[in-house]
Structure 1
Amino acid sequence: MVWSCISWYGPGYIVDVGKNMTKDAYLEVLQDDLMKSLAWYMEESGNPTNQFIFMQDNDPKHTAKVVSKWLNEQDFHVMKWPPQSPDLNPIENMWKLLKRRLFRSYDCPPCGIHELWDCIGHTWYQITAEECQKFIKSMPDRCSAVIEANGFYIGY
């Protein structure tokens, strides 16, 4: 399983979280990799952490008490998230972009997990800030489309 984040300034750190992520493993990812990504975003933007909005879906490990408690202690804002709404999450588009580029960029499949991770990392970190911005800027249109569709899936 893979975890990462995106911002206006580009993709964040991408990490292998193993086969199954528990609430404790997720908390560790947030404390380490999210915070490293935020530090980089702050350096790029000059903005303090309270200028960032954190989005995550309602997966049980994301809403566990230990995770919610830690998130509430941070300076950044955590967005409330409607259930079953992947079409409103711009990182879903980034995962699709990553998969498409991995498929197109390599003539043959990786020979092992280490080679696969090299390919994933190389491809992920080539995604530009402009590509992240494109998906983030689409949010108002996505929200309007969901409203027009009476809350149903809109295919983003």
Structure 2
Amino acid sequence: MSLKVQFITTRETSVSYQSTLQKVIVPFFRNKRRTHVFQQDNASIHKSISTQNWLKAQKITDLEWPAVSPDLNPIENLWGLLVRRVFKHGRQFNTIQELKDAIETEWNAITAAELRALVASKPNRMFEVIQNNGGETSY
């Protein structure tokens, strides 16, 4: 995976979130065509006026996202995949650093094909949400 996993050590605020984005997302977007759109959920630090103004200043387009819609977001399945790999066979960790190392190893092992499959599932996710009148899906 080309983006490095970021470990947050404090409770995130809009300002600390923007700092994280500055380190990781801004360089990524600067190295890519301007056709990319940034997807995030509706967490208050993501949708604060401060963060929205910051994204505009960085010329990063933020995808509008419906409230309470985890079944639509492939990142939720990516987190699930990561957790299953890190804790495979009931694996436990003795230190925070061991856990971080395992997370980083598994994050880096995620393939482009796996990411493409998650993104490709988007139309099916949307269809299921519509079929279930906004209710839970198999995702």
- TM-score, normalized by length of structure 1? 0.81
Structure ranking higher in strand proportion: 1
2:11 is equivalent to residue 28 of structure 1: no
Q: Distance in 2 between matches of 1:102 and 1:52?
A: 30
Distance 1:11 1:125, change over 3 A: same
Deviation at 1:62, TM superposition (A): 0.6
Query: Structure 1's 149 and 108: CA in aligned 2 closer, same or farther, altered over 3 A?
Result: closer
Partner of 2:3: 12
Change in CA separation of 1:11 and 1:101 when aligned onto 2, cut-off 3 Å: farther
Matched, 1:91 2:41: no
Q: CA deviation at 1:155?
A: 3.3
The structure-2 alpha-carbon separation of the partners of 1:116 and 1:36, relative to structure 1 and needing over 3 Å to count, comes to farther
Paired residue secondary structure (1:69)? helix
Mapped to 1, the partners of 2:106 and 2:2 lie a distance apart of 11
Counterparts of 1:122 and 1:51, CA distance in 2 = 30
Separation (CA, whole Å) in 2 of partners of 1:85 and 1:55: 13
The answer to whether structure 1 residue 100 and structure 2 residue 84 are counterparts is yes
Are the counterparts in 1 of residues 26 and 58 from structure 2 also a CA contact under 8 Å? no
Equivalent position amino acid for 1:26 in 2: Y
In the other structure, the counterpart of 1:5 is none
Match of 2:124 among 104, 126, 141: 141
Give the aligned length.
Answer: 139
Is the Cα contact below 8 Å between 2:4 and 2:24 reproduced in 1? yes
> How far apart are residue 73 of structure 1 and its match?
2.5
For residues 56-71 of structure 1, the aligned pairs below 5 Å read 56-71=40-55
Is 1:81 aligned to 2:72, yes or no?
A: no
Cα pair distance change 1:11/1:84, threshold 3 Å: farther
Unmatched 5+ stretches in structure 1 = 1-9
Q: Is the Cα–Cα contact under 8 Å of residues 38 and 61 in structure 2 kept in the other structure?
A: yes
Structure 1 stretches of 4+ with a deviation exceeding 6 A read none
Given that 1:102 and 1:119 are in contact with CA atoms closer than 8 Å, whether structure 2 keeps it comes out as yes
Contact 1:87 1:154 in 2 (8 A): yes
TM-score, normalising length: structure 2: 0.90
Whether the 8 Å CA contact 2:38–2:62 is kept in 1: the answer is yes
Give the Cα–Cα distance (whole angstroms) in 1 for the partners of residues 112 and 130 of structure 2: 28
CA–CA distance in structure 2, aligned partners of residues 141 and 74 of structure 1:
32
What SS class does the counterpart of residue 93 from structure 1 fall into?
helix
Moved more, 21-30 or 127-136: 21-30
